[in-house]
A = this chain, B = another copy of it.
Amino acid sequence: TSRALSATTALRTSLPDLLKPSDTFVRRHIGPTEKDVAEMLKVVGSSSLDEFIDSVVPKGIRLQKKLTIGPALSESEMLAHLKEMAGKNKILRSHIGMGFYNTIVPPVILRNVLESPAWYTPYTPYQAEVSQGRLQSLLNFQTGVIELTGMEVANGSLLDEATAGGEAMTMCYSFANRKKSTFLVSDTCHPQTLSVMKTRASGFNINLKVVKASEITKQDLSDVCGAMIQYPDTHGHLGSYKELADHLHKSGSLCVVATDLLALCVAQPPGAWGADIVFGSAQRFGVPMGYGGPNAAFFATHQQYKRSMPGRIIGVSKDSNGKLALRMALQTREQHIRREKATSNICTAQALLANTAAFYMLHHGPDGLKRIAERTHAIAVLAAKGLGQIEGVSIVGNLFFDTVHVKLSSPVATKVLNTAVSKGINLRQVNEHEITIAFDETSTPEHAVDVVNLFGESLSSQKRVNIDQLTALVSQADLAFPQDIARTTPPLSHPIFSSIGCETDLLRYIYELQNKDLGLQTAMIPLGSCTMKLNATTEMIPITWPEFGQLHPFAPLDQAQGYAELFKNLEAQLREITGFEHVSLQPNSGAQGEYAGLMTIRNYHIANKQPNRTVCLIPHSAHGTNPASAVMCGFVVEPVECDEHGNIDTADLARKAEKHAANLGALMITYPSTHGVFEETVKELIQIVHSHGGLVYMDGANMNAQVGLCSPGNMGADVCHLNLHKTFCIPHGGGGPGMGPICVVPRLAPFLPSHPVIPVGDLTESAVSAAPWGSASILPIPYAYITMMGGEGLTYATKIAILNANYMATRLKSSYQVLYAGANGRVAHEFILDMRPFKAALQITESDVAKRLLDYSFHAPTMSWPVGGTLMFEPTESEPKSELDRLCDALIAIRAEIKQVEDGLIGRSNNVLKHAPHPLSVIVSDNWRRPYTREQAAFPVESLRTKKFWPTVSRLDDVYGDRNLVCSCPPMEAYKSS
């Protein structure tokens, strides 16, 4: 195949063209070359790309002008541009704390996990047989969390500490069957946690009461589903809460604890004194602060509450050969299933960052972590001792871990903070009389000296201390915790945490795990609705620059000018792409975007004195997060039917809009539809809803079929979210991070999320994330992508994404039934193959075909969504034609394997599909007793002989795993013996 860049010579090219940079990006991002495109157009029967696109995208919704984004920067130009921007961030030493701490990312983890496509490109481990590596790592994360918190079960991460607080609250509410609607929360939780919980409470109509921790026991608990404290609290204080927990339990309320993993290395695990739910941020376990995110929240509870626990849980099970195998457990709890009954909408989480934290735990082991905790505490003690000697300064409380709480005798906190900034140090001002100073892994005794001296200087005391003087103030007893606080058990007792000694060990373990997982570095991941496109290296490089990584989210804004410029530029691009006027970058996943967008609509109606507008129309075909998000915002979901072509049934919609006219709040639609079709009627649907006073929310998951061709704003919608981890190249990280910013029309702008610490909007108590701009540090990825593509490149990408899907659908339609198509028999950027006929006739299921694809070195497509018994494929524009052909060839070969069953040549229950996938242990086994040969199983097509990715276990036994839920590492012997 020849190049996208066709042959040029100096004599044939114009000088200005010749002088363009040598590292332009569009041809690197797009899979098919110009020559491929020509061939593919022939196959789909179009004479040109534009004619083809005209046959797919309805005329009525097409944009009338080109995107004004550009000119595109080349890769090196982009890196230089971002480097300059990054340079505008000023990295002061942060003692701000509040849930965000400096940490040392061990370089071996930085480079081989965070920066490695083998770790950042895979999807959520739905296909367990090709995901055992990250499943093990997430299990390590859960095991560490369970041990540190002293709980029984943990999940594989939530989006951030603040939303985890919200999830804990709604879990208590749900566990009380929504019968007790009061939730108490201590006023010394982090302000951003309180704020997000307030937003969450409003949707559920939970009565959230902020009280002093010491007052909780004095409350009437009859309507209280749970109460929450922070340990250590936002000002650093540790306390004894056993009595509180007992008291709560007596009245049937749950005890929720926000905590800190590093503190738990030396402090008693909340599980030991009665906590029912324990959560917090794992950021300081090796994940840079990144101006707020991404980082992994952890969440742990007791065995008895496991089915109410939000998020994904990794569980231990076995495969069809009885071999130990991991997979996502209890999937039936997920919002896909619960829909309108959901209390949580979490889908994309923070797998990559949970893995980073897990490797950090392995790297340091129990002794190492304990030492880091003790050292951090010791430095805080040094500072406290020194500060305590300064006149006008007193230390509040004497039980703290890493944060010193200082009271000033006169109201000079601002002055002290200014002095600090002038010395390159950020402190936290609680009020004009109070300051806190947090220490962390990167702190040194000299930092304590600096802090003491800057207080001294600010308060005009002349005496400077040095390290020896400070040290002399500290006795061994000062370093010890009292009995009711001190942890007595080792922090991480599972042998896995002591199995890694040296860097060689860890490096080999990282590679051992990654080699079990199929990521984009190996093959296509054709998951429909997931848009697994190229995560280009140039997009990834800036995000681990310290200038983006080491900024505290609550640092003064004048220190974050680089980020400010990034947000401003990116917002402008997203406005241009979506056709909306305002953007919030706060939501840190697609589902969070839905939630934020619907809250915006909800608050708009309330402000308009129409609080009754609570009906939300949602098509049956919608993604499960849609109804879940709606419910969380206080909407009542009214499902809308689809017709046999996969389109929303306009008549049904009109009927229901009319029926609910007075109370109509919103319509949620996905465009192109989740069935992979450009609906001709979309504008009409929107008009119907508008005409009845409702607003329209567009789920941007399928934006990859729209960019540059049409837009939510242009179609008339009022809000949309964008999955920056789909359309805009943030890698999926094996299940997160993501970013789900929302774009809105002007009238909704006043209702966008704000933030309690850094106000970014007009509305108080509307925060949806812990950080003002969500996972800010990964925003260079979409910005780089959009800027290197330019408007023209982006539009071309959309066209090729649609062409790739139609090319495959065309090649496959004689072998399989392609479900749903638009006006001209075209699919959009994805398509559905119906497997139900095989099931009906031969008991061969969509799952059998999906698992057999693993044997052909592919990730399986989306299974049984949005239609049960089908497979949905989305190739994206980044897959080269050769890989599309390889997938078509595989599916055609599988069709021939099905035909063998059809023809009775092989049995219905004992065939290559039913036994798929075939790991090496099965293929190599000396006891091969199958009605097909090893080579037929392993090498059904020739190309696999020279290049094959091997599933590492046989098909998972899900039932067994759910019945016997184990979500921490089994004993080491279990691994060996299986």
Contacts and interface: CB of A to CB of B under 8 A. Distances in A.
Interface of A: 1-11, 13, 15-16, 18-23, 27-33, 36, 75-76, 79, 104, 106-108, 110-112, 115, 117-118, 364-368, 370-372, 374-375, 377-379, 441-442, 444-445, 471, 474, 476, 479-480, 498-499, 501-505, 507-508, 510-512, 515, 520-523, 534, 536-538, 540-541, 878-880, 882-883, 920-921, 923-926, 933-935, 938-939, 942-943, 945-948, 975-976
Contacts of A476: 10-11, 15
B5 A371 contact: yes
Contacts of A15: 378, 471, 474, 476, 479
Interface centre among A378, A537, A538, A921 (most CB of B within 10 A): A537
A924 B923 contact: yes
Contacts of A367: 2-3, 5-8
20 contacts: A4-B502, A15-B479, A16-B471, A18-B375, A22-B375, A28-B503, A75-B107, A107-B536, A117-B511, A118-B511, A502-B534, A502-B878, A504-B534, A508-B521, A508-B522, A508-B523, A511-B521, A920-B920, A923-B924, A926-B933
Nearest to A479: B10
A975 B943 CA distance: 10
Given A29-B503, A104-B76, A374-B10, A537 B498 contact: no
A879 B934 CA distance: 37
B371 A534 contact: no
If over half of A's interface residues share one DSSP class (helix, strand or loop), that class is named, otherwise mixed; here it is helix
B18 A502 contact: no
A370 B8 contact: yes
Contacts of A880: 501-502, 504-505
Copies assembled? 2
B117 A507 contact: yes
A111 B22 contact: no
A52 B26 CA distance: 62
Contacts of A23: 104, 106
B368 A5 contact: yes
Contacts of A474: 15
Nearest to A19: B445
B501 A31 contact: yes
B11 A501 contact: no
A375 B925 contact: no
A924 B923 CA distance: 7
Contact of A534 (B13, B368, B503, B938): B503
Nearest to A324: B946
Nearest to A28: B503
Given A8-B371, A15-B479, A22-B441, 7 more contacts: A6-B367, A8-B370, A107-B541, A108-B538, A504-B534, A507-B521, A511-B522
Contact of A537 (B30, B503, B921): B503
B523 A19 contact: no
Nearest to A534: B504
A5 B375 CA distance: 14
Given A29-B502, A79-B107, A8 B878 contact: no
A503 B876 CA distance: 14
6 smallest CB-CB distances across A and B, nearest first, come from A107-B537, A10-B479, A28-B503, A108-B537, A10-B374, A107-B538
A112 B923 CA distance: 31
B10 A501 contact: no
Contacts of A11: 476, 479-480
Interface centre among A20, A371, A476, A945 (most CB of B within 10 A): A371
Contacts of A3: 365, 367-368, 498, 501
A948 B512 CA distance: 9
